[in-house]
Structure 1
Amino acid sequence: MPNSKIPATGQVANYQAQVAVVGAGPVGLMMANYLGQMGIKVVLIEKLDTLIDYPRAIGIDDEALRSIQAVGLVNEVLPHTTPWHAMRFLTPKGRCFADIQPMTDEFGWSRRNAFIQPQVDAVLFEGLKRFPNVSSLFSRRLMAFNQDAQGVTLQLEDDEGKHETVRADWLVACDGGSSFIRRTLGIAFEGKTAPNQWVVVDIANDPLGTPHIYMCCDPVRPYVSAGLPHGIRRFEFMVMPGESESELSKPEKMRELLSKVLPEPGNVELIRQRVYTHNARLAEQFRVDRILLAGDAVHIMPVWQGQGYNSGMRDASNLAWKLAMVVKGQAGERLLNTYQQERRDHAKAMIDLSVTAGQVLAPAHRWQGKLRDALSWVLNYLPPVKRYFLEMRFKPMPRYHSGALVQGEDESSPVGRMFIQPTVTFSNGTQRLLDEAIGPQFAIIAWGSNPQWGLSEEQIVQWQQAGTQFIQVVPQVQLSAIRQLPTGVVCVGDTTGRLKAWFANQQHSIVVLRPDRFVAGVAIPQTLGRLMDDLAMAVSLHSALITPTNKNKVA
């Protein structure tokens, strides 16, 4: 595999790290935060002199918020969000033909939220200050890199032309859609570029003030109107054939665009405007030996479902815990192969959904728009169809059929799906979301029984070394009757009844969660030992304490 050739030049500084992260966008920042809290020595490299300050993504979903919760920053992020943010598709006459409401909070947060990305990025960057093992290098351009069997060497150049060298065990490329690292490695990035551009306009002191996001399917010029936190309004207008970016930047042209949506287009406080091209592309590989790629470096998609940002955060959530275990010597590097195995297909599904949404908003032919409007009018009166949109069932949820998990034969199994996150009650009476009882690690959660029963002493030690939390769940009213727990077991009360309902729908009473909150396996107490041995193999767990299942003893 080709590598970037490093010229023989004098260096003024050298840096050592276990992981180098290139790109201080949201994916790179999330990677650095998770690795930082796991004690990994990280160097974050960014070519700009500061974080990007202009708004880009405007939609953050429940999975991304759960990832931010996992690094202890969700309370700082929430003030920059608007929860329960609906998406409404309108006909040219203003009739709503698809009302997409985020009706569920099964993962602990509203399924769809508006947000201001630069403010959230700033929170993630500030969060790095908690970790003395994480350092940041801004205004550094990656000139070249090379990898060998032990690590990766990067050569940087600062704004003054001075060269620096970074040596890391692993490199994570989060350097965007034009990724220098991906291109240098020769990884194919196949897909399409949309024929139309869009001009994005952000306005302070929202002149409309209405909440939610509206997608107006106007055949003359489709547009988007979105209410954002802190009184910001975003408009997006399709750039029509023959129009140029310079022409659209003229004040009179901007007033003409805004006149479609505002009675006084000249009376606005313009923050900025930019022209975007929508791409749909997917990388052939997510890993080349000691180099891993994430976010826009491996997939880019149109904005219509707000999933570009969120798909990148899913990459970080999936990769960070695996890389941390490998770096800490808890697992073999074969675990990293499951990153592409699990993430690539879902990224493609999100790209396809975003492309489809764009075709609904701006069909290629007017007759297609008229057919869409007529069908939507009929379908909106069918309750099952309406629920399908209201509950966002069209959104492809990640489902892993193979990888770092132990899948059963039942297709309806929860294995490979994200686990719910209801409110639970702790022994001191406080009520918090379930993940607060787990931390950034594995969890074995048992309904009503001791989660260590069925495991040998060796297995308990082995999984404790991997950072596993053992949790017993009981109905909240039983919590006060729990007198003594085995060492290392936490008992929580089922406050809302959601956990009881979840287990009631399963054939198993124990669920094993990965650090990214996906179900790694299910069992009953008598089969838990066998499951944990199989899972140890699936995640390439390093331990001299693994014992054959037939030697399990009751703990």
Structure 2
Amino acid sequence: MNKACDVLVIGAGPVGLTLANLLGQQGVDVLVAEREHELIDYPRAVGIDDEALRAMQTVGLVDEVLPHTVPDQKIYMINGDRAILSEVNPTTREFGWPRRNGFVQPLVDRVLLAGLDRFPEAAVRFGAEVVDLSEDADGVVATLTNGDTVRARYAVAAEGGASPTRKRLGISFEGETRPTDGIVIDVANDPIGTPHAVFGGDPARSYASIALPHGIRRWEFTLFEDETEADVDDDEFVFGLLAPHVPDPSGLDIIRRRVYRHHARVAGRFRHGRIFLAGDAAHVMPVVGGQGWNSGIRDAFNLGWKLAAVVKGLSTDGLLDTYETERLGHVTQMVAVSLRMAKEMTDHDPQKAAERDRIAASRTPEEREAQKRQAFKPQPKFDRGVVVHTPLPTSKSLPDRDVPRLAGTIFPQPTATDADGVEMLLDDATGQGWRILTWNNDPAAFLSAPRRAALDRLGARLVQVVPKAQLPWARKHAAAGVTVVGDLGGESGLQAWFDARPVGAVVVRPDHVIAAECLAQELDDVLARVLEAACVA
């Protein structure tokens, strides 16, 4: 049996399923090929961040995902004496969602799988291992274990850290692997019952204890070099690990236990012709930072709209080069941060642990606050790719302020209103996809006919942001095709965002990244540069 599609996704993990939902949403014919016969159900990621929740909102599944989360989950980093070294508790809603959330990955994966039922162009084939992948001028041909073939215009390998595709292509996977393994133990009927997570930097044996939704408790312990998987299968060994944490380890309702290894590696390339790497196939990192799953979702979110644009003929193939350009640098930073945290919390040298404790104790209140708000987490910022950097304007109508330029960063998502005054998150008020937002102005008044035609082909939305008090007037006088959004004011509102920087217009990409910011009168010229950067056909 031969099958043809626009995009073949190899691997039905969270990255592959998210990408398939994004493509299905755009009417792209996508097939997910998964070698296993069902979704993986063993212990995996436990943290979902605000960027990933916004991605779930974009694909229309956030309401189904949220019941499997613990919002605003605190993390306490403690030493062997249980003294708090640092606390992570960011309370921002900059992107519309809590920055840190515990979650049960297998249940969220099921939500992503079920979400594909909405799209007739999207399909998943289980028990379909790709054993060969060749490329020609028109696309790729995948051969499955049973001899079936799949022809696609593009293929995305999202099949995990051992990625056979990456190995076949001869792409490097540089980095390091920690010398010792770890054990994950998931327990039902949480015997602790507190909502936070604890990372224990105990030189005797490092560990993590994490509250998860639905009464599940996750423990992770470092194993020493003389401890094997056979030890993990021994109840007495496992009970010994858990004895310092609960009154009666033998009475626990253990769901599963599994050995894993800490890796910190990044692929040398994310693109090879018509084949792309995403998620763990492109990068793996220690679990301490809680960013492995989220980094994979960022890959899918960055690549999804670009693949859809090229497949639909809206952009040329050159747009796909920006996937690696934009993602490689950021994920390399994230791997480095995760590795540093892992070494700090899992080092079993008593002297190094004591030095870590001394440094933690000497932190200033400002440094502790920075740790609390998770300032160590690198935010995506693209210097190259589908981004246009404009110089600071010198208009005498603007104060001279040294403000950061935000092109290449993520646009915030405050609560706003639609034209009828109904409050909702900004992306729901504006709609998804390309957006041109102007403060208090009619954006159509600043666009030439060629630019307007290009935006129409892209399905872009023109958004006029006004104070909520102006909604009745703005709605009545809005130009055809312009979406009016009401700003609620306050420090997190859009008026405050525009007031803090010398711009009156912003171009936002489908993945919510700011492609450009400028004065209203500059919009048409700047937009032309954005469309060129996006290889718009």
Query: Normalising TM by the smaller chain, what interval?
Result: over 0.9
- Say whether 1:263 aligns with 2:247: yes
Q: Compare 220-229 and 489-498 and name the one that shifted more.
A: 489-498
1:232-270 deviation line (CA, Å, top 9, x unaligned): 000111102311110122011111111021111111000
Aligned mate of 2:152, from 168, 177, 180:
168
1:202 aligns with 2:207: no
Q: Decide whether the 8 Å contact of 2:77 with 2:84 is kept in 1.
A: yes
Tell me, in whole angstroms, the C-alpha distance in 1 between the residues paired with 2:365 and 2:471. 41
The answer on whether the counterparts of 2:90 and 2:100 sit within 8 Å (CA) in structure 1 is yes
| Corresponding residue for residue 494 of structure 1 | 487
1:194-242 deviation digits (Å, cap 9, x = unpaired)? 0111111000000000111101111111111000000000011110231
* Displacement after TM superposition at 1:448 (Å): 0.4
Partner residue in 1 for 2:347: 363
Correspondence 1:43 to 2:31:
yes
Tell me what 1:397 maps to. Answer: 379
Correspondences of 1:165-314 after superposition (within 5 Å) = 165-314=149-298
Instruction: Name the residue aligned to 1:443.
Output: 435
Distance 1:48 1:255 in 2: 32
Q: Give, as a single letter, the amino acid of the residue that structure 1 aligns with 2:341.
A: A
Structure 2: distance between partners of 1:99 and 1:525: 43
1:384 aligned residue: 366
Query: For residue 524 of structure 1, what is the amino acid of its counterpart?
Result: L
CA distance, structure 2, for counterparts of residue 248 and residue 148 of structure 1: 47
Q: Please say if 1:472 is aligned against 2:464.
A: yes
- Kept after mapping to 1: 8 A contact 2:410/2:514: yes
Q: Name the residue aligned to 1:552.
A: none
How is 1:57-76 mapped onto 2 (pairs within 5 angstroms)?
A: 57-76=45-64
Please give the per-residue CA displacement for 1:38-68, whole angstroms capped at 9, x wherever unaligned: 0000111000001111230000000001111
Alpha-carbon distance in structure 2 between the residues aligned to 1:495 and 1:72: 24
Distance in 2 of aligned mates of 1:55 and 1:490: 44
For the residue of structure 1 that corresponds to 2:256, the secondary structure is strand
Q: Secondary structure at the match of 1:453?
A: helix
**Partner residue, 1:536:** 531
The equivalent of 1:343 in structure 2 is 327
Structure 1 segments of 4+ aligned residues over 2 angstroms from their partners: 408-411, 437-440
Mapping of residues 91-102 of structure 1, within 5 Å: 91-102=79-90
CA distance in structure 2 between the partners assigned to 1:248 and 1:540 by the alignment: 53
| Separation in 2, partners of 1:85, 1:464 | 42
CA–CA separation in structure 2 for the residues paired with 1:97 and 1:453: 55
Mapped pair 1:485 → 2:473: no
Within 1, Cα distance between the matches of 2:512 and 2:438? 15
Q: Which residue of 1 aligns with 2:396?
A: none
Distance in 2 (alpha carbons) for counterparts of 1:297 and 1:515: 24
Aligned position for 1:546: none
CA drift of 1:365 comes to 2.2
Aligned residues: 524
Secondary structure of 1:271 counterpart:
strand
1:190 maps to amino acid? E
RMSD: 1.1
Shift of 1:409: 4.2
8 Å contact kept, 1:422–1:496: no
Task: Identify the residue that residue 111 of structure 2 maps to in structure 1.
Answer: 123
Counterpart amino acid of 1:214?
V
Q: In 2, Cα distance between the equivalents of 1:263 and 1:217?
A: 21
Q: In the alignment, is the contact (CA less than 8 A) between 2:487 and 2:495 conserved in 1?
A: yes
Structure 2's unaligned 5+ residue stretches are 393-402
1:494 counterpart letter in structure 2: D
Identity %: 43
Quick one: distance in 2 between partners of 1:324 and 1:87? Answer: 38
1:101: Cα distance to partner? 0.5
User: Displacement, 1:102?
Assistant: 1.8
Contact 1:445 1:511 in 2 (8 A): yes
TM-score for both structures, normalised by structure 2:
0.96
Amino acid at match of 1:195: P
